[in-house]
Chain A
Amino acid sequence: MPSPVAPDYYINFVIPVYNRAHSLSLALEALRLQSDHRFTVVIADDGSTDKIMPVVLLASKFMSIRYFFRPHDAYNVALMRNYGAKLRTTNCTHIWCLDSDILLNKGAVRHAYQLMLKYPRAIIVGRYDWLPPLVVEPQDVMLRWDDIINARLPIATGNWGAIRHYPDTRHVDWDSHAVQKNIKGAALSGNIIVPVEWWERVGGFDDNIKAQGSDCDFGKRLSKEDADFIFCGHIIGYHIEHERDMKFVQESVQWTIQYMKEKGL
C-alpha cells in the first residue's frame, strides 16, 4: 500500500559498489520487497571485476535502475556516490545513500516518505544494525527475513575465525538523545537520506577522500551549514558483515582525519 503523501517527492537510491555482487543482490532484493516502490536505484560501480551485471539486469525487471561503470583506480567511494547523484532522475528530490551490504527493512521507503511530508528539508538518518557474518542467499531475504535480522542463519566460516571484529552496535540505545545528537558529526553514509538542495549546497561528498571516512567529512560540512538532522528508528539498515582489511580501514580513517584537520573541519 503506497503511503498517503503528495507525489512531489521522489527518492533515488545511490549505491556505490565494488566487487560485492552477492551482497548487492541481497540489498536489491530487500528493495524489491519494499512496501512503497516510488524510487529509482542508481548503482555506481567502482570497476568491479565480478559478475555484477546479471544482478543489475535481474533487479531491473522489478524496479527502475541506472548503472554506471568506471574503471577501478582507487577506492573511490565518495567519487562514486557523487557520480551516482549526478545520474539521478530529473524528478528526484531526495538522494538516499545506501551501501551495497545493507538490507533495508520493508517499511523503510514508506517511513521515509512520511517523514518527508513533515520535514521536507531535513536530512534523515536511518538506524544501522550490524549483523554477524551470515550466509544469506537472495531467497532468504523474502522467505526468512526474521531469521536474518535475528541472526539465526548459519555463520560464514571462511577465513573468519568466528565473529571477530564486527562492531557490536546491536546493543546501542539508538533512542537515547545522546546518540541521536552525536550522529550529526558522523552522518552514517551507509543509510542516510539527503534532500537534493542540501546535496547541491555542500557539493556532495569530497572526492579527495578515498575509502573510509568521507561520511564524517560530509556530515561535518552539513552541520556547519546548519542542516537539520532527523533520526528515524523505523528506517533500519541491516549491515551484512563481510571480511575487510582492518589495517587498510584504520589507515584510511587516519588519513581522512588528518585531511579533515588540514581542511579546518
Chain B
Amino acid sequence: MLSIVIPTYNRAHNLNLCLTALTLQSTLDFTVIIADDGSTDHTRNIVFDDWPFSIRYLWKKHNCFGTAIMRNMGAAVVEKGTTAVLFLDSDVLLNKNAIAAYQDLHKKYPEAVVVGRYDWLPPMRITKNDVLQRWDDVINAKLPTSQAKGGIVGPDPRAADNLFTEQLWQGKYACKIFSGNLLIPVAIFRQVGGFDENIIRHGGQDAELSIRLQLMNAQVIFSQQVVGYHVYHEVNQEQRETSLRINMGYIAQKHDLPALGLRVNWEGGRIEYA
C-alpha cells in the first residue's frame, strides 16, 4: 500500500490543485496525509472537502519552515501495512498515470527509491476546473499567464530550474533525489533515519538524504513515466539563496564531503561531484 505525504504551509490554492490532480489518477488505492506546518489560510477547508481517497490531516504549530519535520511526522503516521511513502510537494500536479507507475515500480523493485520527473510550469492562472477539464492545456502551458507581481519579467524563472533538473537527471549533481516527487519504501526510510530535522527552510534536505542513502548503498531508480508539474508561485529569491547557503554549510559540516568525492557549489547552493 502507498501513502502520499504532502507537507504544506499557506498554500491552500495550490494544495487544492494538487489534490484535484490526484483524483484523476488511474488508481485511487492510496492514502493522503496532509502535513500542515501551521497554516493560517483555509487549508483545512480544502483538506476536509470531499475527496475520493482516504485522507489524514496533521497540524503542527508553526515555528519555522520545517518541511523535514513535517515529512517525518507524516511518514510516522502511515497506516499499518503501508510499504512505501510518496513525498509530494503541495504545488506539484502528478500526471494521470503517476501513482500506477509508482506502484508498478515499487512492486518490481521493493527496496528501491524511485525518483519521478519534475517539470516547472510558467506562471499561469490555474483553477480546479482547468485541472479537471483542460489537463493538456495545463501541462502544455496554454493557460493565461498570471498577472501577479513578477509575472514573467526578465529571464524565464524556470530556465535555471529546468537546467538543474536536466543536469540532475544526467547525473551531474550528486544530489540524486528530489524530495518534491519521491517514493521511498518505509523500511528504507526508517533505516536511513528520515529527513534531517535540523535543516529548515528551503533546500538541502534532499541532498542530505541522498548522501545518507548513498552511504547505505540504497538503490535509486529514475522514472520518466512519473511527471510532477510544479505550479509556479512567487519565491523570495534572496531568502531562498540565504537558506540554501546555510543548509549547504550544515551539510558540509555534518558529512565528510571530500571523502565522498563531493564538494559544495556555493554559487548555486548545490552539492556536486568534486
Number of residue pairs A-B, CB distance < 8 angstroms: 41
The chain A residue with its CB closest to the CB of B69 is: A90
Indicate if the CB atoms of A68 and B57 lie closer than 8 Å. yes
Interface residues of A (CB under 8 A from B): 53, 56, 60, 64-71, 83, 86-87, 90, 207
Binary per-residue interface labels of chain B (41-68) against chain A in the complex, 1 for a CB within 8 Å, 0 otherwise: 0001000000000111111110100000
A251, chain B: closest CB distance, angstroms:
25
Which of chain B's residues have a CB closer than 8 A to the CB of A65?
60-61
| B130: chain A residues within 8 A (beta carbon) | none
With a cutoff of 8 Å between Cβ atoms, the chain A residues found around residue B56 in the complex are: 68-71
Given A87-B76, A90-B197, the answer on whether A67 and B58 have CB atoms closer than 8 Å is yes
Bound Cα distance from A56 to B44, whole angstroms? 13
Residue of A nearest to B80 (CB): A207
Known contacts being A53-B44, A90-B197, A207-B80, is A71 close to B54, with CB within 8 Å? yes
Scan residues 67-119 of chain B and give those whose CB is less than 8 A from a CB of chain A. 73, 76-77, 80
User: Do A66 and B59 touch (CB < 8 A)?
Assistant: yes
| 24 contacts across the A-B interface (CB closer than 8 A) | A53-B44, A53-B59, A56-B59, A60-B38, A60-B61, A64-B61, A64-B63, A65-B60, A65-B61, A66-B58, A66-B59, A67-B58, A67-B59, A67-B60, A68-B58, A68-B77, A69-B59, A70-B77, A83-B77, A87-B58, A87-B73, A87-B76, A87-B77, A90-B197
Q: Which of chain B's residues have a CB closer than 8 A to the CB of A86? A: 76-77
Secondary structure dominating the interface of B: mixed
Interface residues on B, range: 10 to 19
A64 to B60, CA, bound (A): 8
Q: Which residues of A contact B55 (CB under 8 A)?
A: 71
Give me 10 other A-B pairs in contact (C-beta within 8 A), A68-B56, A68-B77, A70-B77 excluded. Answer: A53-B44, A53-B59, A66-B59, A66-B61, A67-B57, A68-B57, A68-B58, A68-B59, A71-B56, A86-B76
Chain B: minimal CB distance from A94 (Å):
18
Enumerate chain A residues within 8 angstroms of B44, measured Cβ to Cβ. Answer: 53
Nearest B residue (CB) for A73: B54
CA distance A87 to B78 in the complex (A): 11
Q: Hey, which chain B residues are within 8 Å of A71, CB to CB?
A: 54-56
What residues of A have a CB within 8 angstroms of the CB of B59 in the complex?
Answer: 53, 56, 66-69
Most buried by A among B58, B61, B63, B76: B61
Asked if residues B61 and A69 are in contact (CB atoms below 8 Å), the reply is no
CA of A69 to CA of B77, assembled, Å: 10
Interchain CA distance A87-B44 in the complex, whole Å:
19
Query: Closest CB of chain B to A79's CB: distance in Å?
Result: 9
Give the complex CA separation of A169 and B153 in angstroms: 72
Taking the nearest CB of chain A, how far is it from the CB of B70, in angstroms?
A: 10
How far apart sit A205 and B80, CA to CA, in the bound complex (Å)?
14
Question: Which chain B positions have C-beta within 8 A of A66?
Answer: 58-61, 73
A112 to B77, CA, bound (A): 28
Bound together, the chains give a CA A56 to CA B77 distance in angstroms of: 19
Chain B residues closer than 8 Å to A67, beta-carbon distance? 57-60
Give Cα distance in the complex from A69 to B32, angstroms. Answer: 12
Min Cβ gap B194→A in Å is 10
**Smallest Cβ distance from A209 to chain B, in angstroms?**
14
